[in-house]
Amino acid sequence: MELIVLIPLILLLLIITGSFFTVKQQSSAVLERFGRFSSIRGPGFHLKAPFIDKVAGKVSLKVQQLDVNVETKTKDNVFVKLKVGVQFAVGPDSVYDAFYKLDNPYEQINSYIFDVVRAEVPKMKLDDVFERKDDIANAIKTELQEAMQNYGFNIVKALVTDIDPDATVKVAMNRINAAEREKLAAEYEGEADRIRIVAKARAEAESKRLQGQGIADQRREIAKGLEESVDILNSVGINSQEASALIVVTQHYDTLQSMGENVNSNLIMLPNAPTAGSDMLANMTASFVASQQMGEEMKATSEKLKAEKKREKIKLER
């Protein structure tokens, strides 16, 4: 008797629980009747015919991401691993295609990613792979969008999130980078040394110029002072020759006095006879006359050579 009462209760419970179902937000449910597509239900509470209608499955409308690791070879024969992230979503109007046309969408997307990466990366050198990773991502998105939109999937974004060459290649790249930086540092150091040398040379040249200018000004003032001294001595009846001898003797003894004032100087005493000044003046005068004669002779010889060369040139032209 209890069993007879229990069976109807169980059947009633099954009928009640099989008469409704719920769908979560950002999801859609595919309803079938006797194994054939019936309808698509959105989020919320829904009724169905028990034992006749069946929820075949539910499709998420959220943006999903699939990460794929691909190993391939570059144009310069370097093996590299790329991590590609693809973000995709099923549109509300494409639930039927996404549910019935593809058995495993993840495998389908994975296959397309492998195909595109292994078609694009072998065209590039390793450095270009790093620089043009956005081009690779765009190629993946374009290829997937064309292929997957027929199955109800919309490709939101494709990203190349990691590029990992072989460990030995990374060590070599680091060495190349370090060598380039050392070379650049050496060039900067050399340029700095050159600037210091040029600046020092300019400073020395300016110092020599100013020193020479000072010496020239000193000699000019000495000559001017000598000229004034001679004029003063001439005004008191001393002729130019006597005045010159007096000035030479005075400077001679001034020099001896200056050298004697320095206790650490080595003094070489020259003959200091009463006629030393006049002899020195005579010797200087003779030297000036000899130099003047030598200069005139050299000038005459040079003009003679020029005249001979000119005559020879005229002869050759004739």
Query: Is 217 a member of any domain?
Result: no
85 & 26 share domain: no
Query: Is 186 a member of any domain?
Result: no
Domain count, the chain: 3
24 phi and psi, to 5 degrees? -75, 160
Which residue segment(s) compose the domain that 141 sits in? 64-165
Query: Is 31 a member of any domain?
Result: yes
88 & 160 share domain: yes
Hey, how many other C-beta atoms are within 10 angstroms of the C-beta on 161?
A: 11
Closest to 89 (Cα-Cα) out of 38, 28, 11, 161: 28
pLDDT along the chain (318 residues), means of 10: 62 67 88 87 85 86 90 87 91 87 85 89 88 89 87 89 82 78 83 85 82 75 69 66 63 66 62 59 66 75 79 73
160 & 76 share domain: yes
Closest to 229 (Cα-Cα) out of 242, 219, 216: 242
Closest to 160 (Cα-Cα) out of 117, 206, 107, 205: 117
Query: Is 203 a member of any domain?
Result: no
Hey, how many other C-beta atoms are within 10 angstroms of the C-beta on 128?
A: 16
Overall pTM > 0.75: no
